[in-house]
Amino acid sequence: MEPTRSEDHAIVDLVDVLLREGAVLQADVVVTVADVPLIGINLRAAIAGMTTMTEYGIFTEWDEEIRKRPERRSELGTRPSPSMSDDER
């Protein structure tokens, strides 16, 4: 199984992580908005709208760049079945 960056949930992961994480600077010279409520609210709302982004084509360029990167395809496809046949428990 290989990691992917080209699916919707990968984009969600990215946005999630980009807003909440990353090296934090602490110094007089630094401005960082991450903890300022103003943008926090905006960005949370922005995330809520992420799923519609592909529909509006915002990801097109992004998508193309992703595809240019070394091929990384998910081998997923397993789906949960209604009844579990695992007898281990």
C-alpha to C-alpha distance for 33 and 40, rounded to whole angstroms: 8
67 binds another protein (CB under 8 A): no
58 binds another protein (CB under 8 A): yes
Report the SS3 class of residue 35.
coil
Other beta carbons less than 10 A from residue 43's beta carbon: 16
54 binds another protein (CB under 8 A): no
Tokens of 57: 């084509």
C-alpha to C-alpha distance for 59 and 6, rounded to whole angstroms: 10
Binding mask 16-45 for another protein (x = CB under 8 A): xxxxxxxxxxxxxxxxxxx-x-xx--xxxx
Q: Interface residues with another protein (CB under 8 A)?
A: 1-5, 7-10, 12-34, 36, 38-39, 42-51, 53, 56, 58-59, 62, 65, 74-76, 78-86, 89
